[in-house]
Amino acid sequence: MAADQDHEVDLLVLGAGPAGLFAAYYAGFRGLSVVIVDALPEAGGQITAMYPEKLIFDVAGFPSVRGRELVAALVEQADRADPIYLLGRQARTLVALPDGGSRVGLADGLRIDARAVLLTAGLGEFRPRPLPGAGNRTDGSVLHFVPHLSAHEGEDVVIVGGGDSAFDWAHALHPIARSVTLVHRRARFRAQPMLVRTVRELGVPIITEAEVAELHDGPSGLDAVVIRLADGGVRTLPAQRVIAALGFVADLGPIETWGITVEQRTIPVDTTMRTSRDRIYAAGDIAAYPGKVRLIATGFGEAATAVNNIAVSLDPAAHLFPGHSTET
C-alpha cells in the first residue's frame, strides 16, 4: 500500500518514537498489520528531535548507545513487521466505527481505518520554537534538528541555543563542518557543564548575550548571519546553515478532543494499557498510572503489554502470552 492512499489495518500506532517503533515490531510478531503516523518528518520522536548524538546509558543490553543508533536499530527491528510509515503527518480526528474499530483522519485528508489504536505520542506533538530574526524561510537554511550530519560537510554553521541539544550539535558537527559557532542570548547555559566544557575545549567559538538579528542571502542562498550583541554592537558570521536549537513546545493537540480521558497532558491506562475507550491503548511517556517511571525501557515493556492485549481484544481465542521470539 502506498503512503498517499487510505489504509485499513489491524493496528494504528500514533507516534514513531522508541515505544511506537517497538510496538510496530511486536505487532508484526503477533501477525497484525500496522501503520505508524508521526507529525515529525523522521522516526525516533524526542530522541531524533532533541538528542540524536547523545549517548544513552539506561537502555537494557546497551552499556551505552548513541541516540540515532538506537533509533536506527529500532527501525530495523520494526521493519520485520513491514509497517507503513506516514511521517510528517498529523492525526486530526478519531471516530468510532460500527465494528468497534476507529477511523482516524489526517490533516492531509487521508483516512486510516484501524481495528485498534495505540497512542505512543510521548509528550505530544513537537513544534520547534521559532528563531527570532529568521523570518519564514522554507529553503532548508534554518533547521531545528539534524537528521544527517554529513549533509553539513564543508559548511559554515551557526547554532543558536544554550541547552544540551545546541552543544550536542556543536560537538557532533565540529569535525565535519568548515566552521561551527554557537550563539546564546544569555551568559549561562542550560546544558550539562561537562558538555559545555567539552565544546569549549574543542575550540568552538561561543558568543553569549547575543541574538540573531538578520539572515543575509547570497547568490546561492544563505550567506551570513548578523547577530546583535548586548552592548549594542553587531557581528556578521559566515553561514550557509543555521540550527535553531531553542527547544520544542509539546502538546497533545487533537488527541484531547477524541473522548479519551486526559489528565495533566497524560492518558490514564489500566494494567493492559487500555485507555478509557475500548480498543484504544497508550504506551510510553503519554501513558499514566500510579508509580509510572518515564524511561525508554519502561516504554518498551508497555508497548509489548499493549500489543499483546490488543491481539487478544481483536481475537479472544488468541493467547495473551505470545511465546518467545526465539521460537519463531
Alpha-carbon distance 307 to 282, whole Å? Answer: 10
Alpha-carbon distance 106 to 34, whole Å? Answer: 16
Strands of the sheet with 221-229, listed across from one edge = 210-218, 221-229, 234-238
DSSP code for 175: T
Query: Would you give the distance in Å from CA 310 to the centre of its chain?
Result: 24
- Cα torsion at 125, 130, 134, 139 (round to 10°)? 0
Alpha-carbon distance 276 to 312, whole Å? Answer: 17
285 in a known ligand binding site: yes
Nearest Cα neighbor of 133 from 250, 239, 231 is 239
Nearest Cα neighbor of 292 from 320, 271, 261 is 271
Based on C-alpha coordinates, what's the Rg of the chain? 22
304 in a known ligand binding site: no
Q: Which residues pair with 234 in a beta bridge?
A: 228
46 in a known ligand binding site: yes
189 in a known ligand binding site: no
Alpha-carbon distance 283 to 99, whole Å? Answer: 24
125: left (phi over 0), alpha (psi -120 to 50) or beta: beta
Nearest Cα neighbor of 53 from 30, 77, 72 is 72
Nearest Cα neighbor of 194 from 6, 54, 11 is 54
Alpha-carbon distance 196 to 206, whole Å? Answer: 10
38 in a known ligand binding site: yes
Helix (H, G, I), strand (E, B) or coil at 73: helix
Residue ranges of the annotated binding site for FAD are 38, 46, 51, 91, 126, 285, 326
Known binding residues: 38, 46, 51, 91, 126, 285, 326
